Structure 1
Amino acid sequence: MHDSVRTANLLGATALAVTDLVLADVARAAGVGTSAAAALVVLSATPGISVTEVGRRIGLSQPAAARMVTTLEAADLAHRRAGSGREVSVQLTPAGERAASELLAARGRPLTELLSALGPAQQAALADLLTPLLARLYSQVGNSELLCRLCDRASCTSGATCPIGQAERERDG
């Protein structure tokens, strides 16, 4: 008989350990906190969005996002540009682009290492299992940008469909 409580506990322990590994490597690689690291990834994927939009995509209020962008500017990782009206857009500097690239690589290393414990068939099976879990998470969170704030988007969409993007299209379709 299947014990769903045990499976949930195993999933919880795995999720927490993976999160700890990934966030430690990401923060170390970027030299900034996890919110600022997420902002670097978001800005590398969508340059020129507003400070408010950066905050929305990484789960920060507008004032907190403005403070975080100030921190990125002080580290010469980003700069603000005047937009239309009162809107201010944010762009990465060349150093910010490098930092975003380095932190995505740092994020991937512990995940790739962990997956090496599985054979190719097991990795494919895990991908098949993660797809409906991510769709369920999207239905609960309702914000694909927030869920994917530290995602290596190119790796998720090259030759495959992003399960979170698909869940969003199905909701909006």
Structure 2
Amino acid sequence: MHDKRVANLLGALSLAVHDLVLADATAAAGTSASGAAALVVLSTAPGLSVTELGRRIGLSQPAAARMVDSLERAGLVERRDTLTRSVAVHLTKQGSGAARHILGDRGGRLGTLSAALDADEQATLALLLGKLLTSAYDQLPEADRLCRLCDRAACVANGQICPVGAACRSRDG
């Protein structure tokens, strides 16, 4: 059984957090939300194909190709031929800077939001968020998509374990 009020509050907060994350990410990169996610993904996984990049951020291949075209026109990414017939997408120097800017600004409004909690409450929230992310992975088992705007280094700082990564490893065996 679940508490409808808790579900409702979680829904309202998730939309507010979504809006804050996307507003900060798109402002930091000067791109669309999917463009910002692509920059973050490519910062940790350079050389993805357009199709794979689209899969990781939740876009169809045609939509991903249009997004990469836009990022390329903005000087944020470049396509490079590979030994096979595919094309690999890489960040340019400007794109790497934009990705760092997106992740650096991430602590901005989200940091302000979480600062409403004291240190003990933040520790409790971190545990609860880990449980919720594990449950989210059970329902949407696409770690790359769930973490498309994650600061992966922050998630595993101080020996912490990423809950989505742990859920993924647990599922894989």
TM-score of the two chains, using structure 1 as the length reference: 0.96
Residue pair 1:23, 1:107 contacting (<8 A) in 2 also: no
Residue matched to 2:151: 152
Instruction: Determine whether 1:169 maps to 2:169.
Output: yes
What is the rounded CA distance, in whole Å, between the counterparts of 2:80 and 2:2 in structure 1? 54
Residue matched to 1:65: 64
What is the rounded CA distance, in whole Å, between the counterparts of 2:63 and 2:38 in structure 1? 12
Determine what percentage of the aligned residue pairs are the same residue. 57
Query: CA distance change for structure 1 residues 4 and 79 in 2, over 3 Å: closer, same or farther?
Result: same
Aligned residue runs from structure 1 range 5-84, under 5 A: 5-84=4-83
Residue matched to 1:119: 118
Residue matched to 2:96: 97
What is the rounded CA distance, in whole Å, between the counterparts of 2:161 and 2:123 in structure 1? 14
Give the letter for the 2:163 counterpart: P
- Secondary structure of the residue that 2:106 maps to in structure 1? helix
The gaps in structure 2 that reach 5 residues or longer are none
- Secondary structure of the residue that 1:79 maps to in structure 2? strand
Give the letter for the 1:42 counterpart: V
More displaced, 97-106 or 30-39? 97-106
TM-score of the two chains, using structure 2 as the length reference: 0.96
CA shift, 1:129, in A, is 0.6
CA shift, 1:107, in A, is 2.3
What is the rounded CA distance, in whole Å, between the counterparts of 2:107 and 2:86 in structure 1? 34
The 4+ residue runs of structure 1 with deviation greater than 2 A are none
CA shift, 1:3, in A, is 7.6
CA shift, 1:108, in A, is 2.2
- Secondary structure of the residue that 1:60 maps to in structure 2? coil
The gaps in structure 1 that reach 5 residues or longer are none
Indicate the RMSD between aligned Cα atoms, in angstroms: 1.3
| CA displacement 1:119-152 (0-9 Å, x = unmatched) | 1100000011111110110111110000000000
What is the rounded CA distance, in whole Å, between the counterparts of 2:46 and 2:12 in structure 1? 35
What is the rounded CA distance, in whole Å, between the counterparts of 2:102 and 2:83 in structure 1? 31
